[in-house]
Amino acid sequence: MTRGGRYTIGPKGSEVQVGDYREALATLSRMRRPSWRRPNAQGHWGLVTGTDWVRRTANELGL
């Protein structure tokens, strides 16, 4: 999910902002523990860390 049109990815203190979805996904896929910011139910942006990957085709994602 974007904030201000950009994806915020990476571990706390080393986060980077990326404007392109595919670039963000490629960067996340190279991380040992992928992490990114997303809003919670109250709308506050927090850092989450992925535990596994489920591969999907671009077509399945509607890209």
Q: For the segment 34-59, what is each residue's pLDDT rounded down to a tens digit?
A: 999 999 999 999 999 999 888 889 89
Cα distance from N-terminal residue to C-terminal residue, the chain:
15
> Which residue is listed with tokens 């990114």?
36
Between 9 and 63, name the one with better pLDDT: 9
What is d(CA 9, CA 31) in angstroms, rounded to the nearest whole number? 10
Q: Exposed, middle or buried, 61 (CB in 10 Å: 0-12/13-18/19+)?
A: exposed
Residue 53: predicted pLDDT: 85
> Which residue is listed with tokens 């080393």?
14
> Which residue is listed with tokens 């040992």?
32
**Total count of domains within the chain:** 1
Residue 24 lies in domain: 1-63
> Which residue is listed with tokens 């190279």?
30
- Mean pLDDT (whole number) for 7-31: 95
- Of the pLDDT bands very low, low, confident and very high (cuts 50, 70, 90), residue 26 is very high
